[in-house]
A and B are shown apart, each in its own frame.
Chain A
Amino acid sequence: MSHDELCESLLTWVQTFNLEANPETVDELTDGVALSQILCQIAPNFFNAGWYGRIKKEVGDNWRIRVSNLKKVLEGVLDFYNDVLGQQIRDFKHPDVSKIAERRDLAEMGRLLQLVLGCAVNCEHKEEYINVIMGMEESVQHAVMNAIQELMSKEMP
């Protein structure tokens, strides 16, 4: 699966969440704001108001703010895997958030989306998210399945 296809399929998944501004393109995810809102819905106790408050909402074209937001999202996700799921993702190349912020790199964006997806399908209320995925178009489900399988192959308790 190409990075394009992975990102587009995971964008379709992102659009199933009730977000303040529904992203219409992968580009709109590169400021980290929508991803942070998804994490707050997935695990509100972990990604709490204090954490969300550190995400800057008015990003505009400022790539430094994008990097800062994306770093917080990535660190939060990795902490969630360690502290809540009790898993480490070994051999999974962590997304380079600078490349996402500076040049909207789809390969890196795909990896970050994959990690957020992993939080959703492993969290306490995963049924809710998995059932939504099971209602999606077959091609999207297939892309999501591949993304999860790749992550699962790197998980170490």
Chain B
Amino acid sequence: MDAGKPGATNEGVLANFFNSLLSKKSGPG
């Protein structure tokens, strides 16, 4: 249903994902 939806795999989605990973705390606790 989302096939061809603009932005579904664009740079913004990727950047958001990797930026959220960057802000995630490393290590236990």
Residues of A within 8 A of B (CB): 84-87, 121-124, 126-127, 130, 133-134, 138, 141-142, 145, 148-149, 157
* Structural contact, B27 and A138, CB atoms closer than 8 A: no
Q: Are B21 and A138 in contact (CB under 8 A)?
A: no
Residues of B1-29 contacting chain A, CB below 8 A: 9, 11, 14-15, 17-18, 21-22, 24, 26-29
**How far apart are A53's CB and chain B's nearest CB, in angstroms?**
26
User: What's the least CB distance linking A11 to chain B, in Å?
Assistant: 19
Q: Which residues of A have CB within 8 Å of B27? A: 84-86, 122, 124
Cross-chain contact A133 with B26 (CB below 8 angstroms): no
Bound CA span A51–B20, Å: 32
Q: Are A85 and B28 in contact (CB under 8 A)?
A: yes
Q: Are A123 and B14 in contact (CB under 8 A)?
A: no
Pair A134/B18 contact, Cβ less than 8 Å: yes
Contact A123 B26 (CB under 8 A): yes
Q: Would A142 and B28 be within 8 Å (CB), given that A130-B21, A148-B21 are in contact?
A: no
A145 touches B14 (CB 8 A): yes
Could you say which residues of chain A place their CB within 8 Å of the CB of B24?
122
Given A121-B21, A126-B22, A127-B22: A134 in contact with B14 (beta carbons within 8 A)? yes
A142 touches B9 (CB 8 A): yes
| Closest residue on chain B to residue A142 by CB atoms | B9
User: B22 and A130: CB pair below 8 A?
Assistant: yes
Report the separation of the CA atoms of residues A28 and B11 in the bound assembly, to the nearest whole angstrom. 31
CB distance from A99 to the nearest CB of B (A): 30
Closest-by-CB residue of A relative to B15 is A134
CA distance A121 to B19 in the complex (A): 11
